[in-house]
Amino acid sequence: MNRKRKANKARKKRKLITAASQNITFNRRTLFLGGAQAAVGLLLAGRMTYIAVAENERWEMLSESNRVNLTLIPPRRGWIIDRYGKPLANNRADFRVDVIPDRMKDKEGTIARLADLLRLSDDEVGRIKKDLEDSRGFAPIEIASGLDYEQFAALSVRLPDMPGVAPLRGFSRQYPSGAAVGHLLGYVGTVSAEEYEEEKNPLLITPGFKIGKDGLEKQFEQDLRGKPGAKRVEVTARGKIVRELSKREDVPGKPMKLAINADLQEYAARRLGPESGSVVVMDCHTGELLAMSSMPSFDPNSFSDGIGFNEYGMLRDDDHVPLRNKVLKGLYPPGSTVKPMVGLAFLEAGLSPDDTVVCNGGLRVGNRRFNCWNRRGHGRVDMAKGIYQSCDVYFYYFAQRIGMDPIAAMARKLGMGQTFDLPVTSQFYGTVPDPEWKRKKYKQSWQAFDTVNATIGQGYMLSNPLQLAVMSSRIASGRNVMPKLLMPKQRKLAPNLDISPEHLQIVRNAMSDVVNGPGTARRAQLNIPNVKLAGKTGTAQVVGLQFGRGGRDVQWKFRDHGLFICFAPLDNPRYAASVVVEHGGGSSAAYPVARDVLTFLYDRRKAMRALEALEQSWGGTIEQRMARKMNAYVARKNAEKAGENAPVPETDSTAEANE
Amino acid sequence: MSGIIPAPIAQQPWKVIFLLCIIAGFGVIVLYSAAGGSMSPWASRHAIRFGVFLAMALVLSRFSENVFKFFTFPVYVVIALMLLGVELIGAVGGGSQRWLDLGLIRIQPSELMKPAIILAVARFYDLLPIGQIRTWGAIWPALLLMGIPASLVLLQPDLGTTLTILAGGMTVAFLAGLPLRLFVIGAAAMAVMAPLAYFFGLEEYQQRRVTTFINPENDPLGAGYHITQSKIAIGSGGMTGKGFLNGSQSHLDYLPEGHTDFVFATMAEEWGLIGGFAVIFAFFLLLRWGFGLAVNAKTRFSKLVAAGLTTTMFFYIAINLMMVMGLAPVVGIPLPFLSYGGSSMMTIMICIGVLMSIDREMKQKRGSTLS
């Protein structure tokens, strides 16, 4: 019974399903399915409306930012020109290649391909790899500039395989005088991470943009920079430029006019030859700096292109310190070049120029004997003779009578120990010692021998070549001359110093006798009609006498510095100059340089003839000598690398210099 | 029937042919623009393919329901064997493969399986005695029919096609009248299984597709790039679009696959919301025709087949559109008649051909009953 009922029940349930009921189910479910699909259709239509209408603005903006690429065009840097408008730094149109590290996929591979394609030297590749390590990623790194069109084209077609490589047409900084203006102008370079942090200007990380890194380029960065242009281009997803949409030209930076005479600057640099030294020439009435050369130097062109590590290593390792601007940061005992100044102090303190002392080769001061440079003595010496023969005893004797304070005051009045208002990163101001200074510095009282040392520019006395030139200018013109690097809009004569014109004339005449009379530098005479040079020699001891007399027969670094200050023409001074030759072995290394540099101002052809003969004996122009040095350096480095610990004989770079 | 037009011509489903020509013609225009204003490489081949496959569909439409019924299972078995063949070749050759190179043509069996599974499951329920629809016997053969090809395709691995095959078969089973609770329970089980499947069942690249779909901005230059660029194209088109040949997203290559999977975005950028609505409306008409057949067809087999094939086409359209609008992960399903590509066009045209056949038989029967 039970079973039957169950079966019946089951049959009943199954019986409900007939063809007709199945059809109804089908239709119902089809309707449901169709409705669901229609709902999805409506959902899609709604979604599309939402994206295309409600969110339209947002997507349109994204579409535009996809399509349009805004690139800044680095502004052309303002020229730096000399007093006559001749360019010291200008811009050269060129093709260049940068890489943007963040966008690179295979750094090693890409660099290797670029090196192959552009025929880069190992030195260059080394520099690039170092830059890559130091980079912040988003800032471009220069691979090469000054490419010719062929290389540029060859690179451009391979771009799709090398993401992160950015070739562009641009301008690069050019310094026509090369190393001669290295210290004066500085150089430009790509922006470092710190510099970007400081300014946060998108221009700074634009490929091809460079900022001043040193010297005037750095000091006048904002004036020289100019305003960037901009370019809107349509680009594909792969970065290929389809077309240019609009362009705003850049506004080049302002040109900057220096007081420098470009030709003189270069001549002075070349005339220094292989020596380590400096030349400063100024207008002794206005203070305009006509030349400010420090050699050896670096070539700002190669610094601006991103310097190779070998070249940098060579500069760093050179004992002639080409990376230091010796005009401002070289401090030397001024030696006998202070004697006209000391003489002037004597005169102003009331000493008669005719008062004399007998020099027999030395003077006992306290319990110590101070020698005159001339051991045989100068006999009876008055002020003029004291200056033109550079008699030390004259100054030992009268300095003790006058005292240090008037001398120190005169030294400061003539620019010693002074820093000048110049657009430079730093200048060393040296020392004008006096009793108070010594008390402060050493907690010792001033001794008679300190005065004696100071009057011949030794002991504590230190000055830089610019100060020497200023001193010479002030003696020459009697004006309180301040050195000026920029050409002033209105040239102004410096105000007169409160020093008696007669006293100044006495000293000037004595300085003339140094050169034109019975003095120490007769070879410094200018061979120019009606133009007489007046000057004062100086020899600064570097080490104690136990190393020898400091002449040319001792090791280079123990030799005396050679100094010379001068002005011309004698009867109506116009130019003043100072020349310092480090370890030149005495003033005779310095005054021929001064003579030729001043000759250049009056008779270029004559000066050039003298220079050309000299350069032939030195082994070529600055560039040729630097290139040779570079090759030798690389060869030595390679030999060191190859020979591991094999001792490499130290090649004395000065041996050649002093032949 | 009026006597002016010969019966075989008058019998053709002209409305549908016209509709397809409009959609495909629009596809040609969009592909012409996608190629930067050029008939080659896509637009002309798209037009030719459409013609060839339309002819194939018309030929297919001449077969009667009985022919389809007869060939359903043999064809199903052949395609299943082909799927196995693809799997074996892939195993030997190393790496996944979806194509079977028959020398003359390359066949993608998983594509062919999409309509074939509909026919097979429909045929099974057609053969099943009415009374047995609520028994276990109504379930397992259908699951087997779906499971074999689904698992073979999943091995390829091609998740999108696997889901399409399963969904097609399920739809037919649903319409055939299986108890509703099975589907409710099934849906609930899916909801539970989905996370498990995500973590254990999916390949890493498939997982990434899902995560980037959920948050495309997470990875704007990687996998999310497709979705974002597609939305940029659609969104920047606005109401009326940027104009023919003026789509920057597609022409400057920001939109990936702008001629295949993302062809709708290419279109929407240049034709705007208006173009998008037109396309959606055209597809609505096509699907309405399919459902109309399902409701009005006379036999159970043709009803199930019509609804099943229509739903298969719907899957193509809906998943593709959801993908380009950022509502579904990027799964590589093309948009019928607009996307460039032979394989999917063939699948869709098989569906159309079979539907046309049902349409023809239905009209003939109606005609005969009327006369």
Q: What is the three-class DSSP state of A152?
A: helix
ipTM: 0.92
Q: Given a cut of 50, is residue A651 above it in pLDDT?
A: no
In eight-state DSSP terms, residue B201 is I
Full DSSP string of B64-93: -HHHHHHHHHHHHHHHHHHHHHHHHHHHHH
Quote the number of domains for chain B.
2
A238 shares contact with chain B (CB less than 8 Å): yes
B268 → chain A, closest CA residue: A52
Give residue-wise pLDDT tens across range A146-175: 787 788 888 888 887 788 887 877 788 899
Six-digit token string for B344: 């999917």
β-strand partners of A156: none
Residues B218 and B289 in one domain: yes
Average confidence score pLDDT of chain A: 86
Span A493-507, average pLDDT:
92
Give residue-wise pLDDT tens across range A365-421: 888 888 888 888 899 999 999 999 999 999 999 999 999 999 999 999 999 999 999
Backbone φ and ψ for A323, nearest 5 degrees, come out as: -90, -5
Question: B234, A14: Cβ pair inside 8 Å?
Answer: no
Contacts of A570 (CB under 8 A, 6+ apart): A508, A512, A516, A532, A533, A534
Question: B248, A234: Cβ pair inside 8 Å?
Answer: yes
Q: What is the pLDDT along chain B (371 residues), one digit of tens a residue?
A: 455 777 767 777 889 999 999 999 999 999 999 998 899 889 999 999 999 999 999 999 999 999 999 999 999 999 999 999 888 887 666 555 677 776 656 778 888 999 999 999 999 999 998 888 888 889 999 999 999 999 998 887 777 788 889 999 999 999 998 888 888 998 899 888 888 877 877 777 777 777 766 666 665 556 578 888 999 999 999 999 999 999 989 888 888 888 999 999 999 999 999 999 999 999 999 999 999 999 999 899 999 999 999 999 999 999 999 999 988 877 778 999 999 988 889 999 999 999 999 999 888 876 654 43
Buried b (16+ CB within 10 A) or exposed e, B158-184: bbbbbbbbbbbbbbbbbbbbbeeeeee
- Rounded Cα–Cα distance for residues B157 and B162 (Å): 9
Question: B235, A47: Cβ pair inside 8 Å?
Answer: no
Residues B193 and B222 in one domain: no
Residues B192 and B276 in one domain: no
Question: B234, A51: Cβ pair inside 8 Å?
Answer: yes
Give residue-wise pLDDT tens across range B61-83: 999 999 999 999 999 999 999 99
Residue of B252, B269, B293, B300 for testing the chain A interface, max A β-carbons within 10 Å: B252
Residues B293 and B338 in one domain: yes
Q: What is the pLDDT of residue A258?
A: 93
- How close A309 gets to chain B, by Cα (Å)? 37
A65 shares contact with chain B (CB less than 8 Å): no
Residues B32 and B5 in one domain: yes
All domains of chain A, ordered by start, with CATH? 70-257 (3.90.1310.10), 262-305+326-618 (3.40.710.10), 627-657 (no CATH)
Give residue-wise pLDDT tens across range A18-46: 888 888 999 999 999 999 999 999 999 99
- How close B93 gets to chain A, by Cα (Å)? 30
Query: Chain A to chain B, count of Cβ pairs less than 8 Å apart?
Result: 133
Q: How far are the Cα atoms of A55, A68, A399, A429 from residue B243, in angstroms, in the given order?
A: 19, 18, 96, 73
Cis peptide upstream of residue B41 (ω within 30 degrees of 0):
yes
Domain range spanning residue B283?
1-62+203-371
Q: Given a cut of 70, is residue A656 above it in pLDDT?
A: no
Question: B238, A234: Cβ pair inside 8 Å?
Answer: no
Confidence label for A110 from pLDDT (cuts 50, 70 and 90): confident
Question: A66, B273: Cβ pair inside 8 Å?
Answer: no
Does an H or E element contain A172, and which?
strand A165-174
Last residue of a domain, one of B147, B171, B202: B202
Closest Cβ–Cβ partner in A53, A55, A238 for B253: A238
Contact between B160 and B319 under an 8 Å Cβ cutoff? The reply is: yes
Q: What is the pLDDT of residue A69?
A: 81
Confidence label for A658 from pLDDT (cuts 50, 70 and 90): very low
The more confidently predicted of residues A613 and B331 is A613
Buried b (16+ CB within 10 A) or exposed e, A477-489: bbbbbbbbbbbee
The predicted model scores a pTM of: 0.67
Q: What is the pLDDT of residue B172?
A: 95
Strand A256-257 relative to strand A80-81, pairing: parallel
Six-digit token string for A406: 């008037």
Residues B189 and B321 in one domain: no
Residues B178 and B255 in one domain: no
Q: What is the pLDDT of residue A632?
A: 87
Q: What is the pLDDT of residue A652?
A: 44
Backbone φ and ψ for B110, nearest 5 degrees, come out as: -65, -30
Q: What is the pLDDT of residue B147?
A: 94
Question: A52, B276: Cβ pair inside 8 Å?
Answer: yes
Span A602-620, average pLDDT:
92
Closest Cβ–Cβ partner in A52, A64, A238 for B234: A52
Question: B325, A25: Cβ pair inside 8 Å?
Answer: no
Q: Given a cut of 90, is residue A580 above it in pLDDT?
A: yes
Residues B28 and B74 in one domain: no
Q: What is the pLDDT of residue A368?
A: 87
- Rounded Cα–Cα distance for residues A467 and A414 (Å): 8
Confidence label for A199 from pLDDT (cuts 50, 70 and 90): confident
A444 shares contact with chain B (CB less than 8 Å): no
Question: B307, A37: Cβ pair inside 8 Å?
Answer: no
Q: Where are the beta strands (DSSP E) in A559-647?
A: 561-568, 575-581
Instruction: Determine how many CB atoms are found less than 10 A away from the CB of residue A591.
Output: 30
Question: B177, A25: Cβ pair inside 8 Å?
Answer: yes
Contact between A300 and A175 under an 8 Å Cβ cutoff? The reply is: yes
Residues B7 and B99 in one domain: no
Contact list in A for residue B272 (CB cut-off 8 A) is: 52
Span A101-113, average pLDDT:
82
Last residue of a domain, one of B202, B237, B252: B202
Contacts of A371 (CB under 8 A, 6+ apart): A361, A362, A392
Confidence label for A484 from pLDDT (cuts 50, 70 and 90): very high
- Tabulate helix, strand, coil % of chain B (nearest 5): 75, 0, 25
In eight-state DSSP terms, residue A497 is P
Give residue-wise pLDDT tens across range B323-343: 999 888 777 789 999 999 888
- Rounded Cα–Cα distance for residues A289 and A486 (Å): 8
Contact between B335 and B317 under an 8 Å Cβ cutoff? The reply is: yes
CA angle A118, A76, A100 (to 5 degrees): 45
Residues B23 and B40 in one domain: yes
Strand A87-99 relative to strand A141-147, pairing: antiparallel
Give residue-wise pLDDT tens across range A2-17: 555 555 555 544 446 7
Contacts of B5 (CB under 8 A, 6+ apart): none
Backbone φ and ψ for B47, nearest 5 degrees, come out as: -65, -45
Q: What is the pLDDT of residue A655?
A: 38
Residues B362 and B223 in one domain: yes
Q: What is the pLDDT of residue A648?
A: 47
Residues B290 and B170 in one domain: no
Last residue of a domain, one of B202, B223, B255: B202
